[in-house]
A and B are shown apart, each in its own frame.
Chain A
Amino acid sequence: MTTTVWILVLPLLAFLVNGLFSTFYPRPWSHRIATAAVLAALALSLGMVAGLLTHPGSTPFLYGDLYTWIGAGTFAVTVGVQVDPLTAMMLVVVTGISSAVHVYSTGYMANDPGYRRFFTFLSLFTFSMLLLVLANNFLLLYVGWELVGVCSYYLIGFWYEKRSAADAGKKAFVVNRVGDFGFGLGVFLIWVTFGTLDYHQVFARAGEVAGQNIALLGMEVPTLTLICLLLFVGAMGKSAQFPLHVWLPDAMEGPTPVSALIHAATMVTAGVYMVARCAALFDLAPVAADTVAVVGGFTALFAASIGLVQNDIKRVLAYSTVSQLGYMFLAAGLGAYGVAAFHLMTHAFFKGLLFLCSGAVIHSVEHGFHAAGVHADPQDMRNMGGLRTQMPVTYRTFVVGALAIAGIPPLAGFCSKDLILERAFAHGDRLGLVLWGGGALAALMTAFYMFRLIFMTFHGRARYPAEAAPKIHESPVSMTRPLVVLALFSCVAGLVGWPELLGGPSVVHLGGGILPFLSPAFGHGQAGHAHELAAAVAWALMGLSVAVGVVGIAIAFALYVVRPEAAVALGRRFPMVHGVLLNKYFVDELYDLCLVRSIKRLADLLHRGFDVFVIDGIVNGTAILLRDLGALLRPLQTGRVNNYATAMVTGVVVLAVVALATWL
């Protein structure tokens, strides 16, 4: 219990100290304090996992309330924590990636005037994210949920003087609020249904509620289905699932370490975590679970297709994140919560790595362009090319990350993505097959756009002015070291879920691996409702998923290395398709037109036409009428308030007395 509290308190303390006093001590101390806190939290989190491994089967490992937060009548919510295997895994992911990002940021943000502010918010974010995964009830989860959102808001808008950054922060917050609208109602409904918001009590009693219905717009809806759907709306906002995905690509306006930590590895996975956490509810709400799988599968494909043609290096990665989150929901929706969590973990490592690599590229290119006086977008891959000679470490680690996400064995992404596709296929119905097909197609696209990115950035000839070339060089050690560490994890993290076909995790002396480790958190056998696949089928599936990755890389190689002009020609050949993809299916434009502008126009119209004209018109009209009547009846009009007041009071009092006299 004490350890858990320290995991939370250390980053919070770092936030408070830096937030209140950082102007009083030298700059390096702000990163020292912040980094020390998160490293300590990482050490404690690793201790948690070790503890769980040596005492298996004890769920929850730790559970305790600190104090009653809000109590009114029968409503009571505590501030309390719990650690089960799922939480323990999240703790390690969050503190691990956060530590890497802290170290990396000392280099990346070294010359930024907002250095202290940056580390202050990193600490607050780390605290909030840890609170989110440690909470033992829905409302405290919601607190973490909102706090990570607000950190995201301030960090996206970190360079607040840039209009686009400020816009992006606001957009992220408001779109998330749309999701929270659903989440909030879900929490209300949980309380009304269960009379508590405590995880254990809710999950334990889910079975009793399974048969209940609730009236909604004249229809009878199963209560649990409605609860799960509402919660999932929240997850769609936080984890950027279609149609609430629009904020995440824009969020790339923030500093790249933030994109890696918040908008790739940790915060955006909160929705997946929440769905996995509520496994007990989703298991009993098949319609909601199928919705999760379908939305996830669709988003995986939808976002991957957009990623095919983007030219901004971070936007490619952003759509890739949206797509990968879709995979996680696909798995969770099919009941494979452990697999979803496993992919969440591997993704955190390789996507965190990819973002930090892209940050290193941008950092160097920007620096080079600036030094050479070149005015070009340092994030546009069309302004790059051939960087592998200048940035060898970044290049190699970037390739490791790309191979991992493309699902090439034996890297991390292979293990988790293969499991997801296998589970979809094994689901045994049409839905499973469709999702499997969509997932495989998205995997092909993933391999293609990742290697398109690699080839455009690091291969071929330089497409920037020659004078910038000598100014572009490898990043400082503070930045490359975290890259190497994350690359290492991107290689080995998958081993904890090594495919059973190839011997399973025990081959590499990891016992049962991650899936049995996590399964107590979901309250049932890990398999979900999967059918056993014949070995031949399983081999074929695995072969296919590897082949898909290889083919994707090959196409990228053909189009961007062998014949670079072919890619452009392809775009010209199909201008419609290219345009629609490049413009992200015009979803932003649609929202802007239908929602943002319409609401603002409605507000303006209501204000001028109704509030000022009608309501205030009636108010002022009444006043003028009374005044003019007064003028007619009595020439004593003075225009002084006291006279009006006296007259009104007297009049009404007389009327009242008369009325009373007649009545009584």
Chain B
Amino acid sequence: MALPILSIVTFLPLVGAVAILLGVRRDNAAAARHVAFATSVVTFLASLPLATRFDRTRAAMQFVEKQAWIPSLGVDYHVGIDGISLLLILLTTLLSMLALLSTWTAVTRHVKEFMIAMLVLETSMIGVFIALDFFLFYLFWEAMLVPMYLLIGVWGGERRVYAAVKFFLYTLAGSVLMLVAILVLYVAAGHTFDIQTITHLVPTYAPAMQGWIFAALFVAFAVKVPMFPFHTWLPDAHTEAPTAGSVILAGVLLKMGTYGFLRFAIPMCPAALPRFLPMIMVLSGIAIVYGALMALAQKDLKKLVAYSSVSHMGYITLGLFALNQQAMEGGILQMINHGISTGALFLLVGILYERRHTRLISEFGGLTRVMPIYAVFFSIFTMSSIGLPGLNGFVGEFLTLVGVFHSPFRMFAVVGAFGIILGAGYMLWMFQRVMFNKLDNPKNFALVDMNVREFVVLAPLVVLAVWIGVYPDPFLAILHPTVNHLIAQAPVSVASIGVLP
């Protein structure tokens, strides 16, 4: 039997967590850091063969492992990945590793517990992306909540408890709806949790039932994305979370929502989809413009980046639900790009916060003079975020919008293109207020530029941003068959769409 690579990648972090739990003394922060980082490096390296051995010509699930788990309930340990999950797993292992390295000096309280939480989080995130059994999926999905809740609630800022509770309850409320949908599907499918089986069965159900299932799944995932108007937990969670938490939250956790759309909501309910599409497109369009306007109004760097995420995620949902090859591949690539760029932006804000213990934009200004290397990185990711050609953001954004323009929802491409103007506005205004103008705050006079560790954290993200910007083919090639297959599963004709805007 072949090596169960998927399980190894998934549970390596958990093994590391257990090792820290049992083998590291509470006061030995250095050991906890080293073991955790080493674990994340090994996990990342272990995830690379997934990419090299992945068959780019097939749409079917690969690296499949299936084992009966709780036979009495029809629960299997059934895992496997397609192109979408492959890219998201690689993003997860990379960002987890970089996030851990970024906490080296930033986290000083309860280091051991912090590292355990990060590693448990990593296992549960990867688990979500590999699960092909609804029970397993839900298990990983809920398991993510706890470490994230702790990361915000224990290592967060001043209003951490409020933010953590809000995050927890909000996402839980969404998950509960998903649980209801899962149970209904379980019963209706004759007591199986197998996602592929269920995905084939649901299209045969009555349109009304498909509608309810879609609605429940949609809300669950929309909260996670977050789509307007379910987004208000995000700025609070981001502001209060420690840097590493924000990176993971923005980089990976938000993608759980869009992943859910792709894996369940879109392929399962072809009868319900057309009726929901206009609403989803409108909400996405609102998110793009509204998120950008909100970002424009922010005084706190992290809140600004958080609201920019709302806007960026709007492009992603717009692309996914345009249901054609260009828009969907663009949307999925944009999921990765957002993880890279926004993850990097949170890391950059974290670097400032660690030095100045404030994130207020008005506290900064003219930092380029004292932090020239930092300025280079900051400007690269600012440009990546506003979609400069040659960097990653452009490829995803362009594919998304050209696809949406080609879909029945042409006007939303216009909305999206308009959002790009606002995007340049809020990002460049922020960049100017932080990096340009006069260095006039005495507290910033002696700011130290990035050190080697911080350089090492950010450099891989620059490489990726340029790589995807200049030669995105290896990434898109992974997606082609998967997306083709998805579109075949969601045959939506123009005529069947409810209301054309």
A residues sitting closer than 8 Å to B (CB atoms) are 67-75, 139, 142-143, 146-147, 150, 153-154, 157, 160-161, 163, 166-167, 169-170, 173-174, 177-178, 180-181, 184-185, 187-189, 191-192, 599-600, 602-604, 606-608, 611, 615-616, 619, 623, 641, 644-645, 648-649, 652-653, 655-657, 660, 664
Q: Which residue of B lies closest to A214 (CB)?
A: B410
Given A177-B420, A181-B420, A600-B296, A188 and B169 contact (CB-CB distance below 8 Å)? no
**Shortest Cβ distance from residue A376 to the other chain B in the assembled complex, whole angstroms:** 22
**Shortest Cβ distance from residue B144 to the other chain A in the assembled complex, whole angstroms:** 14
Give Cα A464–Cα B395 distance, bound, in whole angstroms: 54
Which residues of the partner chain B approach A660 to less than 8 Å between Cβ atoms?
183-184, 187
Contact A178 B421 (CB under 8 A): yes
Residue total for B at the interface (Cβ-Cβ under 8 A): 73
- Report, nearest first, the 10 A-B pairs whose CB atoms are least far apart: A73-B325, A166-B436, A143-B389, A607-B297, A188-B405, A160-B436, A603-B297, A603-B296, A603-B293, A656-B180
Give Cα A150–Cα B329 distance, bound, in whole angstroms: 27
Chain B residues 361 to 412 lying within 8 A of chain A, measured CB to CB, are: 366, 368-369, 379, 383, 388-390, 394-395, 398-399, 401-403, 405-406
Q: Which residue of B lies closest to A596 (CB)?
A: B425
Which residues of the partner chain B approach A656 to less than 8 Å between Cβ atoms?
179-180, 183-184
**Shortest Cβ distance from residue A652 to the other chain B in the assembled complex, whole angstroms:** 5
Contact A657 B183 (CB under 8 A): yes
Give Cα A408–Cα B166 distance, bound, in whole angstroms: 74
Give Cα A137–Cα B393 distance, bound, in whole angstroms: 20
Query: Which interface residue of B402, B414, B422 has the most chain A CB atoms within 10 A?
Result: B402
User: Beyond the given A161-B369, A184-B398, A607-B298, could you list 4 further A-B residue pairs with CB under 8 A, ordered by the A residue number?
Assistant: A147-B390, A184-B401, A603-B296, A606-B294
**Shortest Cβ distance from residue B396 to the other chain A in the assembled complex, whole angstroms:** 10
**Shortest Cβ distance from residue A440 to the other chain B in the assembled complex, whole angstroms:** 37
Give Cα A69–Cα B469 distance, bound, in whole angstroms: 9
**Shortest Cβ distance from residue B288 to the other chain A in the assembled complex, whole angstroms:** 13
Contact B476 A185 (CB under 8 A): no
Which residues of the partner chain A approach B439 to less than 8 Å between Cβ atoms?
161
- B358 interfacial contact with A, CB 8 Å: no
Query: Which interface residue of B180, B413, B424 has the most chain A CB atoms within 10 A?
Result: B424
User: Which of A173, A604, A652 sits near B297, CB closer than 8 Å?
Assistant: A604
Which residues of the partner chain A approach B293 to less than 8 Å between Cβ atoms?
599, 602-603, 606-607
Q: Which residue of B lies closest to A183 (CB)?
A: B417
Which residues of the partner chain B approach A72 to less than 8 Å between Cβ atoms?
325-326, 329-330, 399, 403, 476, 479-480, 483
Q: Which residue of B lies closest to A154 (CB)?
A: B379
- B172 interfacial contact with A, CB 8 Å: yes
Which residues of the partner chain A approach B169 to less than 8 Å between Cβ atoms?
623, 641, 644-645, 648
State which of B26-34, B427-435, B443-451 sits at the interface with chain A. B427-435
Give Cα A192–Cα B296 distance, bound, in whole angstroms: 33
Which residues of the partner chain B approach A71 to less than 8 Å between Cβ atoms?
473, 476
Contact A185 B413 (CB under 8 A): yes
Which residues of the partner chain B approach A153 to less than 8 Å between Cβ atoms?
428
Secondary structure at chain B's binding surface: helix, strand, loop or mixed? Answer: helix
Contact A70 B476 (CB under 8 A): yes
30 A-B interface contacts by CB (under 8 A): A68-B473, A70-B473, A75-B402, A146-B394, A147-B388, A147-B389, A157-B432, A160-B435, A160-B437, A163-B438, A170-B428, A174-B428, A177-B424, A181-B421, A184-B401, A185-B413, A188-B401, A192-B405, A600-B297, A603-B293, A603-B294, A606-B290, A607-B293, A607-B294, A611-B232, A615-B232, A616-B232, A623-B169, A645-B172, A660-B184
User: Which of A69, A142, A150, A167 sits near B383, CB closer than 8 Å?
Assistant: A150
Give Cα A68–Cα B474 distance, bound, in whole angstroms: 11
Give Cα A191–Cα B330 distance, bound, in whole angstroms: 16
Give Cα A653–Cα B232 distance, bound, in whole angstroms: 26
Which residues of the partner chain A approach B177 to less than 8 Å between Cβ atoms?
652
Give Cα A615–Cα B283 distance, bound, in whole angstroms: 14
Query: Which interface residue of A75, A173, A608, A655 has the most chain B CB atoms within 10 A?
Result: A75
User: Which of B184, B401, B432 sits near A170, CB closer than 8 Å?
Assistant: B432
Contact A619 B166 (CB under 8 A): yes
Contact A652 B401 (CB under 8 A): no
Contact B418 A181 (CB under 8 A): yes
Contact A166 B421 (CB under 8 A): no
**Shortest Cβ distance from residue A514 to the other chain B in the assembled complex, whole angstroms:** 31
- B49 interfacial contact with A, CB 8 Å: no
- B45 interfacial contact with A, CB 8 Å: no
Query: Which interface residue of B176, B325, B369, B472 has the most chain A CB atoms within 10 A?
Result: B176
Given A188-B402, A188-B405, A652-B176, A146 and B389 contact (CB-CB distance below 8 Å)? yes
Contact B368 A160 (CB under 8 A): yes
Contact B329 A653 (CB under 8 A): no
Secondary structure at chain A's binding surface: helix, strand, loop or mixed? Answer: helix
Give Cα A59–Cα B294 distance, bound, in whole angstroms: 51
**Shortest Cβ distance from residue A226 to the other chain B in the assembled complex, whole angstroms:** 12
Given A142-B389, A173-B428, A656-B180, A191 and B402 contact (CB-CB distance below 8 Å)? yes
Give Cα A600–Cα B369 distance, bound, in whole angstroms: 28
Which residues of the partner chain A approach B388 to less than 8 Å between Cβ atoms?
146-147, 150
**Shortest Cβ distance from residue B348 to the other chain A in the assembled complex, whole angstroms:** 17
Contact A648 B172 (CB under 8 A): yes
**Shortest Cβ distance from residue B329 to the other chain A in the assembled complex, whole angstroms:** 4
Contact A653 B389 (CB under 8 A): no
**Shortest Cβ distance from residue A195 to the other chain B in the assembled complex, whole angstroms:** 10
Contact B413 A188 (CB under 8 A): yes
Q: Which residue of B lies closest to A656 (CB)?
A: B180
Contact B180 A652 (CB under 8 A): yes
Give Cα A160–Cα B229 distance, bound, in whole angstroms: 38
Which residues of the partner chain B approach A185 to less than 8 Å between Cβ atoms?
405, 413-414, 417
Which residues of the partner chain B approach A150 to less than 8 Å between Cβ atoms?
383, 388
Given A160-B436, A173-B428, A606-B290, A641 and B390 contact (CB-CB distance below 8 Å)? no
Contact B173 A648 (CB under 8 A): yes
Contact B187 A664 (CB under 8 A): yes
Give Cα A177–Cα B419 distance, bound, in whole angstroms: 10
User: Which of A70, A184, A655 sits near B399, CB closer than 8 Å?
Assistant: A70
Contact A166 B432 (CB under 8 A): yes
Give Cα A561–Cα B420 distance, bound, in whole angstroms: 51
Give Cα A606–Cα B310 distance, bound, in whole angstroms: 15
- B77 interfacial contact with A, CB 8 Å: no
Give Cα A611–Cα B428 distance, bound, in whole angstroms: 23
Q: Which residue of B lies closest to A604 (CB)?
A: B297
Which residues of the partner chain A approach B484 to less than 8 Å between Cβ atoms?
73
Contact B473 A173 (CB under 8 A): no
Q: Which residue of B lies closest to A611 (CB)?
A: B294
Q: Which residue of A lies closest to B419 (CB)?
A: A181
Which residues of the partner chain A approach B438 to less than 8 Å between Cβ atoms?
161, 163
Which residues of the partner chain B approach A139 to less than 8 Å between Cβ atoms?
398
Which residues of the partner chain B approach A649 to less than 8 Å between Cβ atoms?
172, 176, 179
- B104 interfacial contact with A, CB 8 Å: no
Give Cα A153–Cα B425 distance, bound, in whole angstroms: 13
Q: Which residue of A lies closest to B333 (CB)?
A: A72
Give Cα A623–Cα B414 distance, bound, in whole angstroms: 37
Q: Which residue of A lies closest to B395 (CB)?
A: A70
Which residues of the partner chain A approach B330 to less than 8 Å between Cβ atoms?
72
Given A143-B390, A603-B293, A649-B179, A75 and B424 contact (CB-CB distance below 8 Å)? no
Which residues of the partner chain B approach A75 to less than 8 Å between Cβ atoms?
325-326, 399, 402-403
- B324 interfacial contact with A, CB 8 Å: yes
Give Cα A519–Cα B379 distance, bound, in whole angstroms: 42
Contact B437 A163 (CB under 8 A): yes
Q: Which residue of A lies closest to B372 (CB)?
A: A117
Which residues of the partner chain B approach A619 to less than 8 Å between Cβ atoms?
166, 170, 232-233
**Shortest Cβ distance from residue B410 to the other chain A in the assembled complex, whole angstroms:** 8
**Shortest Cβ distance from residue B338 to the other chain A in the assembled complex, whole angstroms:** 18
User: Which of A68, A70, A599, A648 sits near B398, CB closer than 8 Å?
Assistant: A70
Which residues of the partner chain B approach A607 to less than 8 Å between Cβ atoms?
293-294, 297-298
Which residues of the partner chain A approach B353 to less than 8 Å between Cβ atoms?
none
Which residues of the partner chain B approach A180 to less than 8 Å between Cβ atoms?
420
**Shortest Cβ distance from residue A584 to the other chain B in the assembled complex, whole angstroms:** 22
Which residues of the partner chain B approach A181 to less than 8 Å between Cβ atoms?
417-418, 420-421
